[in-house]
Structure 1
Amino acid sequence: MIRTLLALDGALVLGALSFVLAAEDDIRVVAKVDRGEAVPAAVRAQRPDVVVADLNFIEGVDASRLGPCPVLVLAHPRRAGRLRGMACATRMVGVLRSDVAPQRVIDGIRRLARREPVLDADLVVAALHSDGPLTDRETEVLSLTAAGAPVAEVAVSLGLTSGTVRNHLGRIARKVGARTRVEAVRVAREAGWI
């Protein structure tokens, strides 16, 4: 029996995957959590064989707090750049797209329980090419903007004029397909560019 912990965002997704896994004779869901900060405590309490987690739940968690169990990370391709730091020598980490068919997740759980690799080729390619469309200067401008600095402050910090900063922000928004600065920050963070 593969003891599985689910750490997924959204009650519907969590419930649906739990329901699908309940039909499998060799997999048992021992815990379900809907917050990233609850994952380490649930791992300690339930001692699962495999953790299935959203990327945003697991990326900030200290690996030593999860014990030796493998983790199947579900990630959206736009967030593939954030996968770079996930692999760790002390644990098996599998990666699948968050929109895969349930059978792929079931297969991934079984493979990780046997300590076999689980990788989605599209996500690996996206992670390797996730440097993003922004220049170094645009990344600096957007990072300061994301930290809450107003245009004038960004300009002073980088030795630019306010007009140049606004031009950079306009170009950044077009490059990432955003309509506003706030949306550009969100897209860049999700993609791992800032």
Structure 2
Amino acid sequence: MIRVVLAEDQTLVLGALSALLSLEQGLSVVGQATDGQAALELCQSLTPDVLVTDIEMPRLSGLDVAEKLRVSGSSVKVVIVTTFGRSGYLRRALEVGARGYLLKDAPAEQLADAIRRVHAGGRAIAPELAEGAWDAHNPLTERERQVLQAAEDGAGTGSIAVTLGLSEGTVRNYLSEAISKLGARGRVEAARKARESGWL
């Protein structure tokens, strides 16, 4: 029996996923979470075989959870199920250790097959995204991404500097580089473009 934890912040979708997977032979949904932190805690306490998670969730994103599990050496395998059909998100998911990446409009059998394949040590990537993932080069450095993400949340230069332990001048330089790389007119547009490409 493959033990699965589900993480999805939309309660109706979470219930539907759980009901559908419970009908599948050899799969058992052992836990459900509506935010990333709760998903991480369930994975730590229940040690399921597979975590099926959305990307955008309160407290921690699905990508954050995948990265924390990877860093901690957890054996839990991660399958991302999302509406974000952008190769930038897929690339980031693979970088943080996710073994599967499917879109929410995929049939339930496809998700069940993906869980089985990932559990067996393979990968399961939405075919329409797999090819583009390797072309989706993220031009931003990790620091530029962090600064832009903070700016997207409305933080000012001083606040970003304190949060990230940088000088205000360094923050301005990172913002300027990111804006330039993305061909944007300012930090808000740069953050929007990066978000749309799946780089934030």
What TM-score comes out, normalization by structure 1 length?
Answer: 0.68
* Cα-to-partner distance string for 1:90-120 (whole Å, 9 max, x where unaligned): x661111232111110111111122222112
SS in 2 for 1:68: coil
Correspondent of 2:90 among 83, 90, 96:
83
Give, in whole Å, the separation in 1 of the partners of 2:29 and 2:129: 26
Q: Compute the displacement of 1:75 (Å).
A: 3.2
Name the Cα RMSD after superposition: 3.8
Give, in whole Å, the separation in 1 of the partners of 2:151 and 2:46: 42
- 1:45 counterpart = 2:45: yes
Correspondent of 1:69 among 54, 63, 76:
76
Aligned to 1:58: 62
Give, in whole Å, the separation in 2 of the partners of 1:6 and 1:39: 8
Quote the sequence identity (%).
29
Aligned to 1:128: 134
Aligned to 2:13: 13
The alpha-carbon distance between structure 1 residues 189 and 88, as it changes in their structure 2 partners (threshold 3 A), is: closer
* Cα-to-partner distance string for 1:26-55 (whole Å, 9 max, x where unaligned): 111000001011122101221211111112
Larger Rg: 1
* Cα-to-partner distance string for 1:167-187 (whole Å, 9 max, x where unaligned): 9539x9xxxxxxxx57x7445
* Cα-to-partner distance string for 1:137-188 (whole Å, 9 max, x where unaligned): xx99x949635459xxxxxx57x9xxxxxx9539x9xxxxxxxx57x74453
Q: Compute the displacement of 1:5 (Å).
A: 0.5
Give, in whole Å, the separation in 2 of the partners of 1:47 and 1:107: 21
What TM-score comes out, normalization by structure 2 length?
Answer: 0.66
Give, in whole Å, the separation in 1 of the partners of 2:10 and 2:90: 21
The alpha-carbon distance between structure 1 residues 88 and 191, as it changes in their structure 2 partners (threshold 3 A), is: closer
Q: Number of aligned residue pairs: give it.
A: 170
The alpha-carbon distance between structure 1 residues 32 and 129, as it changes in their structure 2 partners (threshold 3 A), is: same
Give, in whole Å, the separation in 2 of the partners of 1:69 and 1:46: 10
In structure 1, the gaps of 5 or more residues are 151-156, 161-166, 173-180
SS in 2 for 1:48: coil
In structure 2, the gaps of 5 or more residues are 158-171, 177-182
Q: Compute the displacement of 1:67 (Å).
A: 1.2
Which ranges of 4 or more aligned residues in structure 1 deviate by more than 4 Å?
147-150
The alpha-carbon distance between structure 1 residues 130 and 86, as it changes in their structure 2 partners (threshold 3 A), is: same
SS in 2 for 1:192: coil
SS in 1 for 2:185: helix
